[in-house]
Amino acid sequence: MPRYLVRRLGQAVLVVAGVIVLTFAIMRLVPGDPAVAFAGPKATPEELAAARLRFGLDDAIPVQLWNYIRDLVTGDWGTSLRTRQPVRDDLLLAFPASLELVGTALLLAIAVGIPVGVLAARYKTKFPDFGVRITSMLAVSVPVFWLALALQTVFASNLGWFPIAGEYDSALDTTSPLTLWTNITIVDALITGNWPIFTSTLEHLVLPAVVVAAYPTGVIAQMTRAALIEESGQDHARLERALGFGETSILTRFALRPALNPVLSLIALVFAYAIVNGFLVEAVFNWPGLGRYAVQSISNRDTPAIAGVTLLVAVVYVLANLVVDLLQGVVDPRARAR
């Protein structure tokens, strides 16, 4: 393994360790006694003591931290105070639903953002560029929860074009039950050929995916535009111009590929952001993902659940960054030196 790879992996492991410690520290700040929260307000002293013993609350802090890390590594992410289920099982159901939403949104953002960025770069400082700059800035500045409510009200409640909430029509569970493979509904429906659920999920996906896609589309369009403009000022573009290539073909044939490099790393960076932004969208559209799980856990002060969500998303974020850095190391040898 090349040295930069080893160093980068080591760094990621260190950050994940730090993330675990920080999550533990936050959860230890809870003013209420977790044992009381678990056993309920009417618990007898014996039940309380049992709960304290169960969570190891009487141990010294370093011992608790060590146990926490050991449990995490062995797959015990604690028990949710609300669902009374292992947090890990809850997350295994909720995370794929979030992935489904965010993945669709990112595909949408790439499909729209890159062409729009090319358009803006081609007609820079002209009207299309102006329009793209304003629209992408608006997309970046809009509060997602408000956009979600607005689209839901207009396109679902008033016009009735799309379903109001949920992941798919729950009546389908009885008429054409879904076999789970990946827990990602749309993928499972596709590979098992379950068309009723597949189309229903697609219909339900449109509005939340558009809302989640707003921010990534805006930044991808801005980044594509900026990278293309910088690339079209390079020497190779001058040569291509001298050879008689038109501006459009210089941009799409020669400038786009190197310009996509920074855009690619941006996509991985907005991925984690989109997951967290998706929390608010999931809450509005009642999407059964991490966000809805987190929001429900918040109102119940369900600390193990919140800790699980926090940890999972942070680790996903670290992994996304790692993948970007490694990809760039493969694509661009200069990045390995960093």
Partner 1 sequence: MTETRVAEEPVRLRRTLPKVTDRFAAAGAVLIVVILLATILAPWLAPYPVDRLDLVHTLLPPSGAHWFGTDKVGRDVLTQVLYGGRTSLTIAVAVLAMSAAVGVTLGVVAGYAGGWLRDVIMRVTDVFLAFPALLLSLALAVVLEPSVTTAIVAIAVTWWPWYARLAASVAASISTRSYVDAARCLGVPAPMIILRHVLPNSLTPVLVQISLDAGGVILTAAALSYLGLGAQEPTAEWGLMVEQGQTLFTTNWWVVTFPGLAILVTAFAFNVLGEGLRNALDPRRVVK
List interacting residues with partner 1 (CB under 8 A): 11, 14-16, 18-19, 21-23, 26-27, 29-31, 124-125, 133, 137-138, 140-146, 149-150, 152-153, 157-158, 226, 229-230, 272-273, 275-277, 279-280, 283-284, 294-295, 297-299, 301, 303, 306-307, 309-310, 313-315, 317-318
Beta carbon of residue 306, minimum distance to partner 1 (angstroms, whole number): 5
Neighbour-count burial for 131-145, b at 16+ CB within 10 Å, e otherwise: ebbeebeebeebebe
Between 189 and 267, CB nearer to partner 1 = 267
Burial of 114: CB neighbours in 10 Å, binned 0-12, 13-18, 19+: buried
d(CA 271, CA 294): 18
Beta carbon of residue 175, minimum distance to partner 1 (angstroms, whole number): 30
Between 77 and 317, CB nearer to partner 1 = 317
Beta carbon of residue 176, minimum distance to partner 1 (angstroms, whole number): 32
Between 256 and 309, CB nearer to partner 1 = 309
Between 7 and 177, CB nearer to partner 1 = 7
Neighbour-count burial for 205-233, b at 16+ CB within 10 Å, e otherwise: bbbbbbbbbbbbbbbbbbbbbbbbbebbe
Element (H, E) at 334: none
Between 49 and 226, CB nearer to partner 1 = 226
Between 146 and 195, CB nearer to partner 1 = 146
How is residue 316 written in tokens? Answer: 């996903």
Using alpha carbons only, give the angle 39, 41, 47 rounded to the nearest 5 degrees. Answer: 35
What length is written for the chain?
338
d(CA 266, CA 225): 13
Beta carbon of residue 209, minimum distance to partner 1 (angstroms, whole number): 19
Beta carbon of residue 143, minimum distance to partner 1 (angstroms, whole number): 5
Residues 6+ apart with CB under 8 A from 231: 237, 255, 258, 259
* DSSP 8-state code for residue 302: -
Beta carbon of residue 117, minimum distance to partner 1 (angstroms, whole number): 13
Between 140 and 335, CB nearer to partner 1 = 140
Between 147 and 205, CB nearer to partner 1 = 147
Beta carbon of residue 203, minimum distance to partner 1 (angstroms, whole number): 20
Between 124 and 192, CB nearer to partner 1 = 124
Residues 6+ apart with CB under 8 A from 184: 96, 97, 99, 100
Dihedral in degrees, nearest 10, Cα atoms 150, 154, 160, 161: -80
Q: How far is CA 214 from CA 93, 217, 267, in A?
A: 26, 5, 13
Burial of 42: CB neighbours in 10 Å, binned 0-12, 13-18, 19+: exposed
Beta carbon of residue 163, minimum distance to partner 1 (angstroms, whole number): 15
Beta carbon of residue 130, minimum distance to partner 1 (angstroms, whole number): 9
**Coil, helix or strand at residue 58:** coil
